Structure 1
């Protein structure tokens, strides 16, 4: 079953066309990685999925989306625990239950010791983990993740890759790290500039039988559009 379908999506900003004839779908229990150079329109595509309900078809009318933007957007005047619980409190969930869920996730992600810290006391990687936990706690149908691992070292990435699919079933994520895409994605979409417009130039399927060296070799052909 398709979680979402995008057909012939175009988007312009200030009379400049950014996205050109974008077609993609996301199946149930699938991770889709988007790779492309900085400024090519990757975040714009996620923004369209998040906000353009008229031109994008979802599998149900009231689909719940969670969007983790590239900037963590954590509140400096709130503790880690308060930041994570905030989406539930906004949704009018009982404070005690919201904090209980937040504490459970902090334990799962090995971050409980930081629950009373303020965000300025955290490293960039720690802040990114907190932002990811805040997205997960929303229990969304579809997660849109913009560079969710960019501030993390390789050990933390491996840890998150191992547990992420337990909490997130359907995701579209942007990355500049080919290893992230190969580790998590079922499919990889490469965005590149074609006639001054961003288009999907290639879709690569990833599965247990895929030879990662071959996929990596193909992606490197597009390195000028990726790096």
Structure 2
């Protein structure tokens, strides 16, 4: 019995880390309130300026890392396993303070300050013993919102995401893709207009990944957010991103990580979040798609 209680407690802590970093638990101000106090110039939404990142053992793993995330777009970060992509995401989320450089959110310096962006991990972290509506509502309850109000806001979010029919379902009744959609909506409920997604589709089959990619593109437009997505799939990155940053290096073997280039696929739908399913499919087969893919692959080496 004690073991089950402990497991449930730890899972809740992991979920809170996913939507509100653990290091900010002592702060009484909610993400929504903190984000709203920042000045919001037109661009960029999120920016890393010449970051130098270091592991806990003092080893420098990345130098001069600079990227920009434009408002209302999907930006992808592509690189081989172990090159430091997740480490960079931790810095952008405020979970890791860079040795040098700054992280700017709508022009405001938030370097090393957690709680300003939504962060979705690879695993959905849905609690098996809670219905979907209560899983989505949980982050709000952990921040002190009443259960009634949290469930009301969770249901509204599920409706916006087209998942209202799942509200009373149990996690095990949903497919992997549906679970990931729920996890995305739960993260979006924090109120931040920036979302960092660490390989959100890695555990899904090819067809489901394609459906999820299109759903994500639509959701970015629906919720008015900017998303930075880590992926190993070059085709996936080219198909959905307005800009693709390519990282190389292997810190574990002494090769520091760096950004070697940025690829911007040819504009084909006005933005990366617009267009019908047929238009998106046509782009996947176009010369522009192949041209951008070759650029990314050449940078990866």
- Flag whether TM exceeds 0.5 (same fold): yes
* Matched ranges for 1:61-210 at <5 A: 64-150=116-202, 151=204, 152-193=208-249, 196-208=255-267
Q: Give CA-to-partner distance per residue, 1:72-109, whole Å, 9 cap, x none.
A: 22223322111111222233334333222322332343
Larger relative contact order, structure 1 or 2 (CA cutoff 8 Å, min sep 6) = 1
- Report what 1:28 is aligned to: 71
Shift of 1:42: 0.9
> CA offset at residue 5 of structure 1?
2.9
Aligned length: 224
Query: What CA RMSD, in Å, does the superposition of the two structures yield over aligned residues?
Result: 2.6
Residue 149 and residue 168 in structure 1: after superposition, are their counterparts in 2 closer, same or farther (change >3 A)?
A: farther
Show structure 1 runs of 5+ residues with no match: none
Contact persistence 1:81–1:116 (CA under 8 A): yes
- Tell whether the 8 Å contact from 2:263 to 2:295 is kept in structure 1 after alignment: no
**Aligned-residue offset at 1:222:** 4.4
1:5 aligns with 47
- Counterpart residue number, 2:25: none
Per-residue displacement from partner, 1:177-224 (whole Å, max 9, x unpaired)?
Answer: 233322332211000117711110111123425922210122232456
CA distance in 2, matches of 1:57, 1:172: 14
Q: TM-score, normalised by structure 1?
A: 0.84
Q: Which has the higher helix share?
A: 2
**Is the CA contact (8 Å cut-off) linking 1:143 and 1:168 kept in structure 2?**
no
| Structure 1 residues 165 and 207, CA gap change in structure 2 (3 angstroms) | farther
Native 8 Å contact 1:18 1:198 kept in 2: yes
Which of the two has greater strand per residue? 1
In the TM superposition, residue 22 of structure 1 has moved relative to its aligned partner by 0.8
Gaps of 5+ in 2: 1-42, 269-286
125-134 or 151-160, larger mean C-alpha shift:
151-160
C-alpha displacement of 1:143: 1.0
After TM superposition, give the deviation of residue 46 of structure 1 in Å: 0.5
SS in 1 for 2:128: coil
CA contact (8 A) 1:161 1:183 kept: no
Q: Relative to structure 1, is the Cα distance of residues 219 and 169 closer, same or farther in structure 2, using a 3 angstrom cutoff?
A: same
Question: Could you tell me whether the CA contact under 8 Å between 1:161 and 1:184 is conserved in 2?
Answer: yes
- 1:213 paired with 2:290, answer yes
